[in-house]
Amino acid sequence: MPLYDYRCIVCGHQFETRHGFDGPAPACPACAASEVQRVITRAPAVAGGMMTEAGSGGRATKEQLRSKWAEETPKLREKLVSKLGEETVNRYAPSLNANYD
Ligand SMILES: [Zn+2]
């Protein structure tokens, strides 16, 4: 099974875990929060790397990650705000407020 990196939105703990492609995201081992976010620091060996996924050797990878991130982050933030409140999110997950022009 591929190895994935995750970062806990709540406490910032970063960890890695293995699970299937369709497996559910794990809970944070440090604080047991389920608000964890995939961190793409390496390409899953199975996929043969992000280059393969991007389909155009070498270009696009960074941009694709960036746009993916920009797309996912507001959704995640919205979910967290509705659950934890604006103030909590601002305090514990300021990175979600980052501007990804
Ligand atoms: Zn945590």
Q: How far apart are CA 4 and CA 92, in angstroms?
A: 23
Residue 90 or 28, more confident: 28
- As given in the structure block, the two tokens for residue 86 are 């604006």
- Give the distance (Å) from ligand 1 centre to CA of residue 57: 36
- The larger pLDDT score, comparing residue 71 to residue 33, is at 33
The helix or strand, by DSSP H or E, that contains position 17, with its residue range, turns out to be: strand 14-18
Please give the pLDDT value at position 15: 93
The model's confidence at residue 28, banded by pLDDT at 50, 70 and 90, is very high
Q: What pLDDT digit, counting tens, does each position of 3-13 carry?
A: 888 999 999 99
* C-alpha of residue 15 to centroid of ligand 1, in Å: 10
**Model's pTM, two decimal places?**
0.39
Ligand 1 centroid from CA 51, angstroms: 31
Higher-confidence position of 54 and 14: 14
Fold of 1-41: Rubrerythrin, domain 2 (2.20.28)
Kindly write down the DSSP assignment for every residue of 33-91, as one continuous string. Answer: -S-EEEE-SS--GGGT-HHHHHTSTTSSHHHHHHHHHHHHHHHHHHHHHHHH-HHHHHH
- Mean pLDDT (the chain) is 78
